[in-house]
Structure 1
Amino acid sequence: MADDITLAHHPAENRYELTVDGVLAGRVEYVEDDGVIDMQHTIVDPAFGGRGLGGRIVEYALTDARERGLRVVPTCSFISRFIDTHPDYQDLVTVGG
């Protein structure tokens, strides 16, 4: 049976969340100001590691930023590397906030 994976944006908490079977498995934490979103941390619970969940939540967060017309500061090294290997998101990147 496949895992039930849910992705959600929680703007009041400045984070995107990924749950697996109702359990919080990962998140992207950010600060947003004046049309710029500084994606600061990507965290995946080690119990859920090795399943590509970090990439899934980062893709979700970057897609949401694009849909909302935001520029992205990839402070998080995981997100920076993700963008480097997925050039279709490089147009979102800006320096500073």
Structure 2
Amino acid sequence: METEAPKEDNSEAIQKLRTEMRERFLRIMTALVGQKCEFTMLEKTVVRAELKGCDRDVQNFCVSNLQTALGVLPQAILRAEDIISVQLLDFPADK
């Protein structure tokens, strides 16, 4: 008969894993700040911009120098639901 760990120990381990994953996510997002990106949007529209960050739920991306077919916007917010993919341009491999 196997003994189960108390629920407190299990929830503590889960909380520790969540904390580690959140820290990794924040480090990744910090490394991406200032990177030039190419966003493929709905309707296959492609825009380029410099990534400045995202909100805590990763629902919105803050960008600068957004290059669109109609011109360049100095600052913009891109909704994640409108983004199909993001490609990093010239991201250094050693970061």
Q: Identify whether the pair has TM-score above 0.5, normalized to the shorter chain.
A: no
TM-score (norm 1): 0.27
Bigger strand fraction: 2
